[in-house]
Structure 1
Amino acid sequence: MPITTAAVVGSGYMGGGIAQVLAKAGIPVALADASPELSVTNLERLKAEAGKFEDAGLFQPGSAETIAANLSAAASIEEAVADVDYIAEAVPEVSSIKADVHTRIDAAKRSDAIVGSNTSTIQIESMTGSFADASTFLGVHFSNPAPFIPGVEIIAHPGTAPDVVDSVAELVTRVGKQGARIKDNPGFVLNRLQYVLFKEAIEIVDEGIASAEDVDMIVSTTFGFRTPFFGPFVIADMAGLDVYKFCFDELEPHFGDKFAPPKMLTDLVASGKLGTKSGGGFTELDGDQTDELIAYRNKAYAKLSELLAELGPPPTATK
């Protein structure tokens, strides 16, 4: 059955953003936090914030009114979750806090209510002990800021019921987001990738190769410039997998195993699958699709350049 009512437990910046997303899509949302007073405070903040977003043209006209009509503050966690279809947990990323909140949710919710934790790194299966029946529990990881970032990780643990995953995937699509179904592992996909990049960036600065400002500039104006449109596999296919293999071979003697060519890459190159120039690599394309892809890429990058010129440099940019 479609999810039609919801509660958000933890109504701070992250949970509040999730509540706005749900409420803007017409879903009644009950907010719960550490105290009734904090829930009311956050309710008023979210309504005022939605008005500012609408005034700035970031929300469609009428969105603030819809959000205000669908948000309410509950007196307790138990009251918020008692009779809703879906419960989003967005409390601090501390296992003991989550365990306590999950226990309270489980004692008060309907047996068929779905609980989605917004954890960004904690393995979902490790949190199932708080639930008498964990088949309705999974990870549903929105990114910050939730109202504006489209991607959502949907993480089922081995005991999550398949129809629960389907219901959440449908909800994610209905509220205007894009969901990816991810296997349960620490860090999932987003943060496993994001923290590898961040760690390498810190090492580059620590070694005196470049300043933090220059690293940020290089990322945002080179490979990061591509990522609003393409993921790493399509980017590699367009560059040429043989080129990537050559670069790994050059880097490995200097940096060791972390830059050793991955077997999946070497196998593709050995079989003649070099990316778009050979008709496929990680992606399979015919000749017409290759031409369309390159044309799309060029248009996308040009349009992004125009948008960035229109917006101007961010407040952190060096003057």
Structure 2
Amino acid sequence: MKKIAVVGSGYMGGGIAQVLALSGAQVLIADVSAEVAERNAARLQDEAAQFEKEGLFAAGAADLIAANLRAAPSIEEAVADADFIEEAVPERLDIKHDALRRISAACPAASIIGSNTSTILISELATAVVGPERFLGVHFSNPAPFIPGVEIIAHAGTAEQAIARAEEFVAGTGKLPARVSDATGFVLNRLQYALFHEASQIVEEGIATADDVDLVVRTTFGFRLPFFGPFAIADMAGLDVYAMCYASLQTRWPERFATPRSLQQHVDAGRFGTKSGGGYLDIPAHRASALVEYRNRAYVEMSALLERLGPPPVE
């Protein structure tokens, strides 16, 4: 898929357009008017030049974006010959429905249509799409040029071929697609907002300040997250240890920190994680030492990176 349209050229849509243009695709952006699209195309070009100057984009990136990214006079003209369309208009159901009606009425029948929604169910958006079997969520994260993960979210009527093509397309841009079911919050925001909710509770209870909560998160369990997800971290810590910690938390919050059913099932079966040869992830016991070596080296390298970068400007 080499002819791409991005409908909605603001911060998120514009960043997605840059990613797609850098992958070698021909990208047309569209917005509420031709003037807005033109203005945002110029902004994206200026940003690309600045990113290249700062070493955030590779040498020649600005020229590549200049060659591959243009503004279209209208949504209809942007999508008329597109293989793939990414809808990135504001996060309101009525605005997205209107955009998706116009997109699906004007684009080729074989086009794949993705939505960058972060919160609205794909099944709700699909009601506005002509040919909903080709429609799915393709959720980039902010800032799109620099965050590698992309959620691929199919609704019940999405064709498997459309999912596979979207995954292949996203992988071709250098991003990492993860297949996710159509459920409120998907994965990214369900986890992100659960953490924020608990963090805000801690501040409101006077247990720690917002500054100290941020410090604890980014220097302890958050320090691990660039390398390992929650299941790998749990397996390395020991699922039996996790079960004991849940029991402790339940002395105050018996419902909020009820032991996950899957965790208890693993513990009851003697699957404690890497130390027993398997838990949530099937990591053989003989690979445990190599995993620990990688983990320790990764954390040392992360410490060195943070030392080189210095503290963030919020401090």
TM-score by length of 1: 0.98
After superposition, the C-alpha distances for 1:111-148 in whole angstroms (9 at most, x for unaligned) are 11111000001110011111221011100000000000
Q: Which residue of 2 aligns with 1:15?
A: 13
After superposition, the C-alpha distances for 1:287-318 in whole angstroms (9 at most, x for unaligned) are 3311111000000000000000000000001x
In the alignment, is residue 86 of structure 1 matched against residue 84 of structure 2?
yes
Unpaired segments of 5 or more residues in structure 2?
none
Structure-2 separation of matches of 1:11 and 1:173: 22
Structure-1 separation of matches of 2:53 and 2:130: 45
Structure-1 separation of matches of 2:183 and 2:156: 11
After TM superposition, give the deviation of residue 99 of structure 1 in Å.
0.6
After TM superposition, give the deviation of residue 198 of structure 1 in Å.
0.5
Q: Which residue of 2 aligns with 1:181?
A: 179
Aligned with 2:140 (options 139, 142, 145): 142
Structure-1 separation of matches of 2:2 and 2:185: 29
Q: Which residue of 2 aligns with 1:256?
A: 254
Q: Which residue of 2 aligns with 1:275?
A: 273
In the alignment, is residue 65 of structure 1 matched against residue 52 of structure 2?
no
Q: State the one-letter code of the partner of 2:105.
A: A
Structure-2 separation of matches of 1:267 and 1:73: 55
Q: Which residue of 2 aligns with 1:75?
A: 73
Q: Does the aligned pair in 1 maintain the 2:30–2:78 contact within 8 Å?
A: yes
Unpaired segments of 5 or more residues in structure 1?
none
Q: State the one-letter code of the partner of 2:144.
A: A
Aligned with 1:237 (options 230, 235, 238): 235
Aligned with 1:153 (options 151, 154, 157): 151
Q: Which residue of 2 aligns with 1:190?
A: 188
After TM superposition, give the deviation of residue 256 of structure 1 in Å.
2.4
User: What is the SS of the residue equivalent to 1:191?
Assistant: helix
Q: Which residue of 2 aligns with 1:120?
A: 118
User: What is the SS of the residue equivalent to 1:130?
Assistant: coil
Q: Which residue of 1 aligns with 2:166?
A: 168
User: What is the SS of the residue equivalent to 1:229?
Assistant: coil
After TM superposition, give the deviation of residue 63 of structure 1 in Å.
1.1
Q: Which residue of 1 aligns with 2:202?
A: 204
Structure 1 segments (4+ residues) deviating >6 Å:
none
After superposition, the C-alpha distances for 1:147-204 in whole angstroms (9 at most, x for unaligned) are 0000000001111111111111011111000000111111100001100000111111
Q: State the one-letter code of the partner of 1:12.
A: G
Q: Which residue of 2 aligns with 1:133?
A: 131
Aligned with 1:221 (options 219, 222, 230): 219
User: What is the SS of the residue equivalent to 2:113?
Assistant: strand
Q: Does the aligned pair in 1 maintain the 2:278–2:285 contact within 8 Å?
A: no
After superposition, the C-alpha distances for 1:53-95 in whole angstroms (9 at most, x for unaligned) are 1111111111111111000001111110111100000001000
Structure-1 separation of matches of 2:234 and 2:25: 40
Structure-2 separation of matches of 1:128 and 1:284: 37
User: What is the SS of the residue equivalent to 1:314?
Assistant: coil
Structure-2 separation of matches of 1:239 and 1:142: 31
Q: State the one-letter code of the partner of 2:93.
A: S
User: What is the SS of the residue equivalent to 2:174?
Assistant: coil
Q: Does the aligned pair in 1 maintain the 2:87–2:116 contact within 8 Å?
A: yes
Q: How many residues align?
A: 315
Structure-1 separation of matches of 2:23 and 2:285: 41
TM-score by length of 2: 0.99
Q: State the one-letter code of the partner of 2:222.
A: G
User: What is the SS of the residue equivalent to 2:231?
Assistant: helix
In the alignment, is residue 108 of structure 1 matched against residue 106 of structure 2?
yes
Structure-2 separation of matches of 1:127 and 1:204: 36
Structure-2 separation of matches of 1:37 and 1:273: 60
Structure-2 separation of matches of 1:92 and 1:82: 22
Aligned with 1:96 (options 94, 97, 101): 94
Which 10-residue stretch deviates more, 94-103 or 253-262? 253-262
After TM superposition, give the deviation of residue 279 of structure 1 in Å.
1.2
After TM superposition, give the deviation of residue 255 of structure 1 in Å.
1.3
Q: State the one-letter code of the partner of 2:61.
A: S
Structure-2 separation of matches of 1:109 and 1:258: 47
After TM superposition, give the deviation of residue 285 of structure 1 in Å.
2.1
User: What is the SS of the residue equivalent to 2:256?
Assistant: helix
Q: State the one-letter code of the partner of 1:7.
A: A
After superposition, the C-alpha distances for 1:4-50 in whole angstroms (9 at most, x for unaligned) are 11000000000000000000011000010111111011000101101
